[in-house]
Amino acid sequence: MPVVSKRGEEMPQSPIRRLVPFAEAAKKKGTHVYHLNIGQPDIKTPEVAMEAIRNVHMKTVEYSHSAGIESYRRKLADSYAKHDIHVDYTDLMITTGGSEAVMFAFLSCMNIGDEVIIPEPFYANYSAFAYSTGVTVVPIPSTIETDFALPSIEEFEKRITSKTKGILICNPNNPTGYLYSSEEMEQLRQLVKKYDLFLLSDEVYREFCYDGKEHISAMHLKDIEQNVIMIDSVSKRYSECGVRIGSLVTKNKGVIDIAMRYAQARLSPPGIGQIAAEASLDTPQSYFDEVYEEYIARRNCLVEGLNNIPGVYSPMPKGAFYTVAKLPVDDTDKFCEWILRDFEYEGQTVMMAPGTGFYCTKGMGSNEVRIAYVLKVEDLKKALVTLEKALEAYPGRVFDKSLVSESKI
Amino acid sequence: MPVVSKRGEEMPQSPIRRLVPFAEAAKKKGTHVYHLNIGQPDIKTPEVAMEAIRNVHMKTVEYSHSAGIESYRRKLADSYAKHDIHVDYTDLMITTGGSEAVMFAFLSCMNIGDEVIIPEPFYANYSAFAYSTGVTVVPIPSTIETDFALPSIEEFEKRITSKTKGILICNPNNPTGYLYSSEEMEQLRQLVKKYDLFLLSDEVYREFCYDGKEHISAMHLKDIEQNVIMIDSVSKRYSECGVRIGSLVTKNKGVIDIAMRYAQARLSPPGIGQIAAEASLDTPQSYFDEVYEEYIARRNCLVEGLNNIPGVYSPMPKGAFYTVAKLPVDDTDKFCEWILRDFEYEGQTVMMAPGTGFYCTKGMGSNEVRIAYVLKVEDLKKALVTLEKALEAYPGRVFDKSLVSESKI
């Protein structure tokens, strides 16, 4: 039998994947599992998108342009103006999800062995995309002690080598929900300019900014227009993850030209998905207002609830729909398995993503979990009770007094 | 300004891309361009697929399973039984077009620097996928003199090194339309078994086999079940290229496991496309009968027409909807540019794909073109007249007497 590739065997895997069989077994036993582990919102896809799908009346579903349907690209470029991002439709290309945009950005900016600095914790699949493209991730820790603020510029500079080609940020952040301030963005701007690096900015959660905080896009930063590549996606914005439509946006024509070569090889992004995404641009403001209210309610319920559990601490996230919480346990990988395998409270249990999957640095995140607030408030409340009961019952409980005072202020 | 990646700059580009500006300029002048350069059929997508799209009534377009929607996978597995291919739904995964299936196969079977032998001429994007994944293509020439039959096993053996991990075939073939005989498939089987190689078999044109010839799938070959990976796609079968749905099929669980890691990183294949593809499995036989008749008429018109032009030779393809023809010119790259840029006949011209783009071996294909018979017979007839007139007028005409006698038998 021929052997599979070594690179395939060493490919980083989803941190949640290992837990899936335990969740499936729990469900088979009749236990209800609250899925707080994934970024799949239960929010309705806008009606304009669904209508556009139901109105598809073409004779032949042909390949689109490799960079995406021109009318969609034009309308998307126009729509960014609302966010004070001013681009021409030739400054962007439509991709198969934000995932492909990250892949194209790595391939276009970095050679095999080149380095990209990413503040951790970070979206686990960045590791997979970097690994697939032979790019080395250089993590720079941000910590729950500072509520995941941007690490200092000195820390970035310590990590810059001759192989450093770029910095990748996710803003608002998955998994932490952190939203970079204008001061932090200015620091990044100066750093990128000083070392002439690419700044890859994943802004797929742009619309999810809370408490009156403003989103500062990397595309707003002056004097580094040729350095910035924005990664975008319709998945979360319109709760249409399944259409698999994203975009890569940059004023750097060299990057667009190279990305197009990769785009042409795979022919075109999904056709019907593009139609849905284009129509989604006409989603009424009332939809976003409702979604916003819903997420605020969920966030407040979750984060207040977490901080009311003895020994648990979660910062109050200012964006996206995740938070990273510190739990009073020996090891969240063990705890997340245990709660699915050995625990239930009133026929219910909770699935969370262990923190270690979001860190590159060994040992970090082992008492943290990522929780997505993608469920209704009433479900979140039940999940919180279940979590509290589980923490009381868990044999590996570790009680950290410092956390209690911190979280109860 | 930061510099783009070297690998990006060296990425092989579509052989047709260079000609696009000339075609656009011709159209701007008012010349009608017959597009014989691309595999985008004008055939209608089956009504069952369009209806399924128009009947999408989900609340939220969610991510699907990374391996594809289970109901589709089960139905697709069942459908292969009609072709005497017996697989379980866990033996296959749904991919974003056949393109992604090729990428996943390369990544799962081959490390950077490993070699894959491919009979040339071959689908130009194989080079791009190999290049993207660091795999080295080792071409093995098949020639128009033998109507593109499989090269001898001795020729394959000459190319096998310690780095050879697989052989990639496309059957029926793009660009030649060649359909491998049972004897040829048996030769491949023995070779693959002897050297324990992977056999990657791109069978996206399976339904397009003519003159009563039977398609022998790599999945039919005995005793090499663990070696075979079938690449498939709905694009051509149902004329729905734009939905971007393909599949990777193999009995080798190790390959499926590794491919799943790459699949999970990109989350899921296009959702609405999968719905269309699943519905397409219910396409009535009458659809295929009509399409078959149409392609037979087109092929006969095109190939007979080509062979009636002095100095032109085309084998009679037994499958797919392409042929590679030899033209009496100095250089088809120059000719294909000239016919768009400097020629028109009654306000019309023809776009073809120069042969060199389908060969890895320098110098091969320089008097060949790939012609796709994706247009109606009446259009093909006009295109043929235009081509004949162009060949008469072309300053770089080279008259090869051997071809005349050959082609006029």
* Residue A156 C-beta-side C-alpha neighbours within 13 Å: 25
Q: Taking the CB of residue A24, how many other CB atoms lie within 10 A of it?
A: 11
Tokens of B117: 């032998």
pLDDT attached to residue B400: 61
CA-based nearest distance A83→chain B, Å: 25
Q: How far apart are CA A36 and CA A45, in angstroms?
A: 20
The Cα B380–Cα A368 span in angstroms is: 65
Say yes or no for a CB contact (<8 Å) between A96 and B270.
yes
Chain B residue numbers touching A261 (CB-CB < 8 A): 8, 11-13, 128
Q: Specify the pLDDT at position B40.
A: 82
Rounded Cα distance, B28 and B7, in Å: 35
Residue A406 has pLDDT above 70, yes or no: no
Strands A368-372 and A322-326, how do they pair? antiparallel
The span from the CA of A394 to the CA of A387, in Å, is 10
By 3-state DSSP, what share of chain B in percent is helix, strand and coil, each rounded to 5? 45, 15, 40
Report the pLDDT averaged over residues A178-182.
Answer: 97
C-alpha–C-alpha distance, residues B278 and B74, integer Å: 10
What is the β-pairing status of strands B198-202 and A353-354?
unpaired
- d(CA A148, CA A226) in angstroms, rounded, equals 28
Which residues in chain B are closer than 8 Å to A266, comparing Cβ atoms? 96-97, 99-100, 125
**Residue A407 pLDDT:** 45
Coil, helix or strand for B137? strand
Does residue A316 register a pLDDT over 80?
yes
CB atoms within 10 A of CB A235: 27
Q: Residue A403: pLDDT above 80?
A: no
Q: What is the mean pLDDT of residues A297-308?
A: 98
Contact A369, A355 (CB under 8 A): yes
- Taking CA–CA distances from A124, the nearest residue in chain B reads B265
Per CB-CB distance under 8 Å, the chain B contacts of A42 are 60
* CB burial of residue A78 (10 Å; 0-12, 13-18, 19+): middle
Nearest residue of A to residue B245 by CA position? A270
pLDDT-flagged residues of chain B (< 50)? 403-409
The string over B123-138, giving b where at least 16 C-beta atoms fall within 10 Å of a residue's C-beta and e elsewhere, is bbbbbbbbbbbbbbbb
Would you say B22 and B273 are in contact if contact means Cβ atoms under 8 Å apart? Answer: no
Please report, as a single letter, which amino acid is at residue B262: Y
- By DSSP bridging, strand A32-35 and strand A348-351 are parallel
- pLDDT at B245 (0 to 100): 98
Do B112 and A134 contact (CB within 8 A), yes or no? Answer: yes
CB contact under 8 A, A258 and B5: yes
Q: Which of A250, A224, A234 is nearest to A109 (CA)?
A: A250
Q: Where exactly are the structural domains of chain B?
A: 6-44+286-407, 47-280
Q: What is the mean pLDDT of residues A64-93?
A: 97
B259, B247 contact by CB (below 8 A): no
Select the residue from B6, B55, B61 to test the A interface by mutation, using most A Cβ atoms within 10 A. Answer: B61
Apex CA B96: angle with CA B319 and CA B9, to 5°? Answer: 90
> How far is C-alpha A93 from the geometric centre of its chain's CA atoms?
20
Q: Is B347 exposed, middle or buried (0-12, 13-18, 19+ CB in 10 A)?
A: exposed
Give the nearest chain A residue to B166 (CA atoms): A2
- Residue B6 with chain A: CB contacts under 8 Å: 111
Residue B406: the pLDDT is 45
Class for domain A6-44+286-407, per CATH? alpha beta
In chain A, % of residues over pLDDT 70: 98
Q: How far is CA A128 from CA A133, A251, B117, B296, in A?
A: 9, 26, 28, 46
- CA-CA distance, A348 to A26, in Å (whole number)? 9
Contact B13 A261 (CB under 8 A): yes
Distance (Å, whole) CA A374 – CA A352 = 12
- pLDDT digit string (tens) for B361-375? 999 999 999 999 999
Task: Quote the pLDDT of residue A391.
Answer: 98
CATH topology of domain A47-280: Aspartate Aminotransferase; domain 2 (3.40.640)
Q: Which one of A40, A97, A265 has the shortest CB-CB distance to B132?
A: A265
CA distances from A273 to A73, A225, A229, A279, B62 (A): 13, 29, 23, 10, 12
Residue A408's pLDDT is 43
Nearest Cβ partner for B2 among A54, A100, A197: A197
Mean pLDDT across the stretch A114-121?
98
pLDDT for residue A232 is more than 60? yes
Whole-angstrom distance, CA of residue B306 vs CA of residue B1: 51
The pLDDT of A260-265, averaged and rounded, is 95
